[in-house]
Amino acid sequence: MGRRLVALAGDAGLAVVEAVEHDGHPELGRDAGELAGLESLGVPLGKTLGTDAGVVIDFSLPDGTRRVIEHCRSAGLPMVIGTTGLTDDDQKQIDTAASEIAVCQATNFSLVVNVLWKLAAEAAQLLGEGYDIEVLEAHHRYKKDAPSGTARTLAQRLCDATGRDFARDVVFARYGEDAPRQPKDITVQTLRLGDHAGEHTAFFATPGERLEIKHVSTSRDSYAVGALRAAAWLVDQPAGRYDMADVLGL
């Protein structure tokens, strides 16, 4: 994601002024532009985030994101957060930071995925009771968290649209000799397949017919484009917590 953000930043009217990786990364010191397949940008890959940026985009792991949040908060820098697998305590940290800086967090920055969330919620409301609702997600074999943050958000939007309770009605596994589907279940199933960039499907089914609303990603560029769009939008916003629905006006 970092390389694609660097590669596509110019198309979004943004300039890369810093690029940071974890201490010990094998490419530290190399030019970020060259790593992204561009000409040299004069921006070496570093391990310490400075204060020269107008906005920071973070796609990392939870430990890294926690440190970046505190840095942005102390430096007064707006922050776009694309890291998934964050805990409830992490969300509280983001809430605190958002009282002082502008923060845009999303479990998926793809414009199409955000439209998927909206359409799936509307479909659930229109179809009403009597339709089984299920979610299937697939990603590459190296993805650490499961299910994906995108799938969890999709399940949450479906719960909100139908009056379900996420903690009670969302199921993350179904197995055994006696495991029938309960009327309000929303089961989120996970696949890990090779180098799959990402796929999410919402199913609505009743005897005799089925509706599927699906997003299939064929590259990470869709996520990078959305994150860069969010960054360009965020620099003009006051302190607060935002998501892609705010960026896109959904």
Classify 170 as helix, strand or coil: strand
Confidence of residue 66 (pLDDT cuts 50, 70, 90): very high
Confidence of residue 44 (pLDDT cuts 50, 70, 90): very high
Asked whether residue 59 carries a pLDDT value surpassing 90, the answer given is yes
Confidence of residue 71 (pLDDT cuts 50, 70, 90): very high
Sheet with 199-206: strands ordered across: 170-171, 186-192, 132-139, 199-206, 209-216
pLDDT per residue as tens digits for the range 183-208: 999 999 999 999 998 999 999 999 99
Q: Summarize the confidence of residues 227-232 as an average pLDDT.
A: 97
Enzyme catalytic residues = 139, 143
65 to 62, 84, 92, 195, 210: CA distances (angstroms): 5, 10, 13, 24, 40
- The reported pLDDT for the residue numbered 113 is 94
Q: DSSP character for 32?
A: H
- Percent of the chain exceeding pLDDT 90 equals 89
- The reported pLDDT for the residue numbered 144 is 86
Quote the CA–CA distance of 99 and 94 in Å, as a whole number: 9
Confidence of residue 58 (pLDDT cuts 50, 70, 90): very high
- The reported pLDDT for the residue numbered 213 is 98
The label of the residue with tokens 């198309």 reads 11
